[in-house]
Structure 1
Amino acid sequence: MIRAGALALALAAPSPALADLLIDLSIVQACVDAAGPEQAAPGCIGQAANRCMEDSPQGHSTVQMGACLDAELGWWDGLLNTEYRGLMAELEASDADLPAHLAVQAGYLRDMQRAWIRLRDSACAFEASRWQGGTGASPAAIGCLLQRTAQHALFLRNKREGQH
């Protein structure tokens, strides 16, 4: 869901530079695996995209920046979806053992996720608007989506790991 909109922003004008995209998503995976749940948030987010922009021949063009950011966004979006589905399954199982008036965790998670999506989308639209139609709007929006998606994925992961 996130990727289609972000990719449309990033690739509004296709460029041959995209053929030279150098993204190594294993950097992020290794960082997340090595860090504890609390430590992963500040250190891992954006590592692959930043390296991609540094290493790609046209890494500082707005199209290339958007493509690098979008590639890492896809990784975090996958993690977010995995963590959300896992947490939802855990909460549904927990709720099943409770009286009806207490079986509310899964419903609140669903409501929170829907509200978070609206907040994320509004915040990132605001970030793009700050460029007033300039070419930096696309990387700004995708960078915002990347940051917020990664932070939320880690938040959900922490909830699955019993962090309160």
Structure 2
Amino acid sequence: MLASLPMKILLITLLAMSGMCLAAASDAEPPFSSQDTEDCVAQATAQSLNLGDHAVLACVGRSAQACMMTPSGGSTLGMMACLDAELEYWNERLETAYVARLAMAKAQEGEGLNLRGTALSLQQTLQATYDSWLAFREAACLYEQAQWFGGSGGGPATLACYLHETARQTLKWEGWWAH
């Protein structure tokens, strides 16, 4: 009986440690890859004439959804991590699109093209558009958050709002719906 006591302690210790490992694994950051979203946008681009199809909006959130289907992505914190990861992906694309638009505006102004004699330059109007859009996104997503009355779903809902608004603006500045 005394010989089995250390074995029981060892088994209890091992079980406790395996439980901690499982808990740590479930608390781990969920795996995120932007591949699902990238593939979807590429397919939409290939199928759309003049980037005029709104079906591309169905691509937004694809990677976050895949991430949320993983064991560590199903909790509220996991969902927020997945949504935040895709938001960061769209933020990077937005920055790239914005810089490209600024460069185009600068080039057009260098060629002497102005907004039909208006006082503001293309660069200034682009900056004003960007600033106004940021204010709109903030207000729209705060409204989304307020609808949850402090509930735990408010965090994921708010991040999903930021994700969708950012992706929509990114796609627009990348040339979707320009024609």
1:16-52 deviation digits (Å, cap 9, x = unpaired): 6452512221111222222223346322100000111
Which position in structure 1 is the counterpart of 2:34?
Answer: 25
Report the Cα offset of residue 60 of structure 1. 2.6
Tell me the TM-score normalized by structure 2.
0.74
Secondary structure of residue in 2 paired with 1:32? helix
The amino acid that maps onto 2:56 is A
Residue of 84, 98, 101 corresponding to 2:112: 98
Q: How far apart are the structure 1 equivalents of 2:104 and 2:25?
A: 45
Identity of paired residues, percent?
31
**Structure exhibiting the larger radius of gyration computed from Cα positions:** 2
Is the partner of 2:63 in helix, strand or coil? helix
User: Which of these residues, 144, 148, 152, is aligned with residue 135 of structure 1?
Assistant: 152
Q: Name structure 2 gaps, 5 residues minimum.
A: 1-23, 46-50
RMSD value, Cα: 2.2
Q: Runs of 5+ in structure 1 lacking a partner?
A: 1-14
Return the alpha-carbon distance in structure 1 between the equivalents of residues 43 and 59 of structure 2.
10
Post-superposition offset of 1:59: 2.6
Distance in 2, Cα, partners of 1:147 & 1:18: 26
TM-score by length of 1: 0.80
Secondary structure of the residue aligned to 1:24 is coil
Higher relative contact order (CA 8 A, sep 6+): 1
CA deviation map 1:74-119 (0-9, x unaligned): 1111001000000110111101222663572221111000000000
